[in-house]
Amino acid sequence: MIDDSTLQQIREGIKHGKFPVRAFNDEEIYQLEQERLFSKAWCFLAHESEIPSPGDYVTRYISNNNIIVARDEHGVVHANLNMCRHRGNMMCKSEMGNASHFRCSYHGWTYKNSGELIGVPYMKEGYEGRLKRKDWGLVTVRIESYAGLIFGTLDPDAMSLDDYLGDFRFYLDLYLRHGEQGVEVYGAPDHWVADTNWKICAENFAGDGYHTPVAHQWGFTLGYYPSSGSTHSQGWAASIPGRGHGVGLGHSPNFPPFGGFPDELVADMRRTFTPAQVEVFEKVRTAVGTVFPNLSFLMQPLSLIPGEPGVRFVTMRLYHPVGPGRMEMYSWCLVPKGASQEYRDASYKAYTLAFGQAGTFEQDDFENWTKVTKSAKYTMAKDLEFPYIMGMESEPATDFAGPGHVVTPYVNDTNFRNMWERWGDYLLGEV
């Protein structure tokens, strides 16, 4: 059994650049994560644009709990456990839809989409006045949102979402505030299962610039990148101490400011972003970041034909663990609300070629990640550790306008040390 002193050793170890292999596929650690991390942290549920109209809902998970995220008739979003309070049947068996009410298919208890119980068959004859409807609404999940992202937490005492995201909001805006109208989902997410531990994905997207020239080497070979293998390490790694979030910001020499965005959108973004954000964002070719624990974003230009000027796309992804070595992957493409349909379509096409389960970049990532997950269970790997020592001695960058702990180059472990230290805080119950 993993006890607190082992967890303390792990957390101390990551500060010195070591993290245990077994953390990436271990039943006990998985159970601890369910109890102490995913039941305490702010977990991503949905983007507001997935449920734009009254009655719209999607069903998502926090830990193993299926949650209905619905917009009521007044436009207010609610999140409730997808379980009838009478005998526990699942209320809503679809991934998305529109309904003003949910009626249980077992005994017929009926709830408003806000979760309020309004209908109980044989109320008078059966319950004889002993059942108070207001006591038996669906179990509510606390939600808060930032720039269209709806998060939920099972911890009533959790800090506010703004506090939880902290200074990472500065970087999140790069994905979410493309002009005054912001972004929306292009459509329903790709959704698939993989024999992969969620942490491998979360770490990779917290700024693993190191893997790109090798894991996606075919892209360099075909001439896909505006950077070459030799310049690829340029850029910054920004992490938010004490929060676990991190982003890698890749830069290429001579990369045009905001390259790959249409001109009118760039003008709009220059008005929406703060001067400090403009200074940081205009230099960024690739931005790959993770909101601790398991929500990630990637933005980069990609052309359909190698060598042609790329079109920017943004993907948002959620790694939902369903076992120590298994997860459900959700992958969305976000597009600017205010941009032309032509740009939005081109951006989505670039996304599908690169990401989603047939995406040429995604394919190789999952190939590697399933193999890492398999190795992490080897008996010979039980007491091994991985090195997380890149950037141990790096001094924070001084000429950088963004917040957090920022180091160069882009190829760095600093974000990951910060992330797994925070993971240790949660597993030790010290949040």
Partner 1 sequence: MAIDRETKLDIAEFLYRESLALDERRFRDWLGYLADDIEYVMPVRVAREGQAEWELSPTSRIFDDNRDTLEVRIRRLETDFSWSEQPPSRTRHYITNVIVDPGEEDDEYLVSTNCFIYRSRGVEPDPSFYSLARKDTVRRTPDGWRLARRWAALDQSLVNAHNLSIFI
Toward partner 1, which CB reaches closer, 239 or 373? 373
Q: Which stretch binds partner 1 (CB under 8 A): 8-16, 92-100, 201-209, 270-278?
A: 92-100
Q: Is 328 in the site for partner 1 (CB under 8 A)?
A: yes
As measured in angstroms, the least distance from the Cβ of 269 to partner 1 is 24
Cis, peptide link before residue 226, omega less than 30° from 0 = no
CB atoms within 10 A of CB 160: 9
Residues 94-113 that bind partner 1 (CB under 8 A): 94-97
Please report which helix (H) or strand (E) contains residue 405, including its range: strand 405-407
Task: Round to whole Å and give the CA distance between 282 and 275.
Answer: 11
In this chain, which stretch among 17-25, 198-206, 311-319, 363-371 interacts with partner 1, using CB under 8 A? Answer: 363-371
Applying CB under 8 A, the span of 20-28, 81-89, 135-143, 216-224 interacting with partner 1 comes to 216-224
Kindly state the smallest distance separating residue 80's Cβ from partner 1, in Å: 18
Considering only residues 148, 182, 189, 391, which one is a binding residue for partner 1 as defined by CB under 8 A? 189
Site string for partner 1, 366-385 (x = CB under 8 A): xxxxx---------------
Q: Are 408 and 397 in contact (CB under 8 A)?
A: yes
Q: Of 5, 305, 383, 393, which lies in the binding site for partner 1, with binding defined by CB under 8 A? A: 305
Query: CA 278 to CA 402: how far, in whole Å?
Result: 10
Given the complex with partner 1, which of 145 and 360 has the nearer CB atom? 360
Distance CA 324, CA 333 (A): 27
CB atoms within 10 A of CB 428: 15
Nearer to partner 1 by Cβ, of 223 and 241: the residue is 223
Smaller CB distance to partner 1: residue 102 or 273? 102
Cβ(396)–Cβ(405) below 8 Å: yes
Closer of 59 and 418 to partner 1 (Cβ): 59
DSSP labels for 295-318?
A: EEEEEEEE-SSTTSPPEEEEEEEE
Query: What is the nearest approach in angstroms of partner 1 to the Cβ of residue 110?
Result: 16
Q: Are 67 and 45 in contact (CB under 8 A)?
A: yes
Among 80, 76, 40, CA closest to 58:
80
DSSP-derived 3-state class of residue 152: strand
Query: Could you tell me the two tokens for 360?
Result: 């040429």
- Closest CB 304 distance from partner 1, rounded Å: 5
Interface residue list for partner 1 (CB under 8 A): 93-97, 186-196, 215-218, 221-222, 304-306, 328, 348-349, 352-353, 356-358, 360, 362-364, 366-370
